[in-house]
Structure 1
C-alpha cells in the first residue's frame, strides 16, 4: 500500500475536496469541521479504494496534514502530490524529502516547501 503525506498552510475547508475531486473519483470527505478534529474520507482511483485523512493543526497551528493511502494513487511521491496541491490551491505546501525515517533526529530535518518563491528544501521552523 502506498501512502502520501503533505502539509497545507491555511487550508480553506472546500479547497482540499475540490483538489482531490479533480484527481480521484467519488471523493467523500466531510471537511466542514476541519478546524476542530481529524477528518476521514474515502475516494477511488482506477478502481482502487483510497483512504483520505486530514489532521488540522499538524506541524503548527496553521498547517493541515493530508494523508492519502491506497494501492494506486495519482502521484508517485509526496513531492509530486505537493506540486499538484500547490497548483490547485496556491498556498504554501510542505512535504518530506523522502529520506527521513521515524526515530531519526529532527534537528537538521529538511522539508520541501512549495510557495510563491518556488520549491526549496528548508528547515520546518
Structure 2
C-alpha cells in the first residue's frame, strides 16, 4: 500500500476534487466544506484510492491531504506536491523523504512549493 501526504495552505473549497479529477480515473469527494475532515475515494486504473483531508494540520492554515492506494499517479510526496501546486497555485508542503510513522523527523526540513520555487525549509 502506497501513501502520499501533502499539506495545502489556505485550501479553497472544491480545489482538491478539481485537481484529482484531472489526475485520477474516478473521484468521489465532497470537499465543499474544507473546515472539517473530509473522506472520499477514487480510482487510478484498477486500483482504489482512499482520500482524506484533515484541516488544521500544522497550524490553522494548512490542510493535510492523504492519498492511500495500491497504485497512485505519483511516486513520491514531492511529485504529488508538484502536481497539486500546478493545479491549486497555493503553497504546498511535503516531507523530504520516505518518512514513516514513528521515524524521527530529521532537522524538521520540509519541501515548500510556492511562487518562489521549491525550497527545503524548517517548518515554523
Aligned twin of 1:14: 14
Separation in structure 1 between the aligned mates of residue 42 and residue 25 of structure 2, nearest angstrom: 6
Structure 1: stretches of 5+ with no match in the other structure: none
Q: TM-score, normalised by structure 2?
A: 0.94
Structure 1 pair 106–70 and aligned structure 2 pair: CA distance change class (3 A): closer
91-100 or 105-114, which deviates more? 105-114
- Cα RMSD between the aligned structures? 1.4
Moved over 6 A (4+): none
Tell whether 2:28 aligns with 1:28.
Answer: yes
- Deviation at 1:102? 3.5
Aligned twin of 2:37: 38
Q: 1:72-98: per-residue Cα shift (whole Å, max 9, x none)?
A: 000000000000001111100000001
Instruction: Give the count of matched residue pairs.
Output: 124
Q: TM-score, normalised by structure 1?
A: 0.93
Structure 2: stretches of 5+ with no match in the other structure: none
Aligned ranges for residues 56-71 of structure 1 at < 5 Å?
Answer: 56-71=55-70
Separation in structure 2 between the aligned mates of residue 25 and residue 114 of structure 1, nearest angstrom: 26
Partner SS, residue 13 of structure 1: coil
